[in-house]
Amino acid sequence: MGSERASNNVDDNYDEKSENGEDCDNHSLGSWKGSEIVFGSFPEDFSSVLQSRPAVVETASPRMRWADMAQEDEFDEEEEEEEEERDSSRKGFDASSMKTPEKPKLSRDQRENLRLINVKRKKDFICLERVKGKIVNVLDGLELHTGVFSAVEQKRIVDQVYQLQEKGRRGELKKRTFTAPHKWMRGKGRETIQFGCCYNYAPDRAGNPPGILQREEVDPLPHLFKVIIRKLIKWHVLPPTCVPDSCIVNIYDEGDCIPPHIDNHDFLRPFCTISFLSECDILFGSNLKVEGPGDFSGSYSIPLPVGSVLVLNGNGADVAKHCVPAVPTKRISITFRKMDESKRPVWFTPEPDLQGIEPLPLDLNRSGSTSRFSRLNNHNGTNQRGHGRRGGGNGYDSRGYYNPERSSEHNDSGDWPSSQRRVMPRPSRRNYG
């Protein structure tokens, strides 16, 4: 990734293996030929999510940077101002001529707890495939969390990414932190920013294998990114046993993509990716196929809403490959991962303010909180879609189980349901040829 030629060589090697049906990751577990695909869906008992941990009273640790604490306070202040503006616009009358009861002010902890119990967490993704002679749910371990980041937080994060991008273009970041390959063909050349470690997607010309380059130096995690990590742990998105210490920012232009792969095992599980600016689909399956530049087909597609967090663990991280087809518009994703201690760069030093983070206790004793939290976490409104010849959204019966007869029915237009067609670049996108 250091030079333009090296970056292009990495992309060449990456896609060359993808087009041959091989994973670019030499640790891949995810390609078995002749897989048989069956789909189903059933609701999952989310009571395990609700198991409250011992109440932890968090105080400002001296190890936490004041800049980070101020950053979190600024998030809250801007959210308060935004909420007040929405309230005043909803009133629709002259406030000076009519007195209204003043809205009770909530403390910061109360606001955070209210937002926490309103996070939607979907954990019942199902895609059954035949893997090494056994039928397995290749999506087991996937979680989609929505409502974690407010509009104010998303804007602040996106602005920070663009500032870092400009610093990278001006040469103000370390050489391997920022990479901007030449866009020599459709889907190629998305800009990336890496913090904590430099990761090599494929063997490079220096002979380095895929994985963490232990002697290449990059910039440490920015303050704001550590604020994000702390929130992911405190809000029960990632476990406190797997606090990320590295990340990669992908900056997509229209038509950019990520080919099928399984993340290298230099990184522990689980890891997560956060989506910004626009929604896109991520495709999963044990046998994803490259149909053309930026065009992939596979078993199961999940739309990633703006601000959502997708957590990959278990089969969803190690059996199913995943890819992002050519995006229809600009997009930013930030993937947070924890490095295997034996694979960390030689210069790496753990961040003091990322130690000892504990999840917030879930206040389930308030009237109605438990039932509401359970109802929200069993929300199945996320429009996940199955893709492939043998399954799809129209193949489910009233109980949520797969019905082969229903899956073979045509829709009213006489065409096959969209959930049974392979993912194609969206028509709104220009044809890059």
Contact 207, 190 (CB under 8 A): no
Please give the biggest Cα pair distance in the chain.
75
Distance CA 292, CA 305 (A): 25
Segment 18-27 mean pLDDT: 40
Residue at 263 is within a domain: yes
Distance CA 271, CA 431 (A): 33
Number of domains in the chain: 1
Residue at 405 is within a domain: no
More confident residue, 123 or 204: 123
Over the chain, what is the mean pLDDT?
Answer: 74
pLDDT at 368: 40
Domain that holds residue 374: 4-84+106-379
Residue at 173 is within a domain: yes
For residue 282, give both structure tokens: 């991520």
For residue 259, give both structure tokens: 């080919």
Contact 300, 284 (CB under 8 A): yes
Residue at 31 is within a domain: yes
CA dihedral 386, 393, 236, 74 (to 10 degrees): 90
More confident residue, 281 or 405: 281
Tokens 């616009």 belong to 89
User: Helix H segments across 58-143?
Assistant: 66-91, 108-117
pLDDT tens, residue by residue, 239-262: 999 999 999 999 999 999 999 999
Residue at 332 is within a domain: yes
pLDDT tens, residue by residue, 166-215: 999 999 999 999 999 877 666 677 999 999 999 998 888 888 889 999 99
pLDDT tens, residue by residue, 288-297: 999 999 999 9
CB burial readout 416-433, b (16+ within 10 A) else e? bbebbebbebeeebeeee
Q: What is the CATH number of the domain that holds 113?
A: 2.60.120.590
Residue at 94 is within a domain: no
Q: Give the predicted TM-score (pTM) of the model.
A: 0.68
Exposed/middle/buried for residue 50 (C-beta within 10 Å: 0-12, 13-18, 19+):
middle
Residue at 230 is within a domain: yes
pLDDT tens, residue by residue, 129-179: 999 999 999 999 999 999 999 999 999 999 999 999 999 999 999 999 999
pLDDT at 46: 37
- pLDDT-derived band at 92, boundaries 50, 70, 90: low
pLDDT tens, residue by residue, 266-284: 999 999 999 999 999 999 9
DSSP labels for 372-395?
Answer: HHHHHHT---S--EE-STT--GGG
Residue at 414 is within a domain: no
SS (H, E, C) 359-375: CCCCCCCCCCHHHHHHH
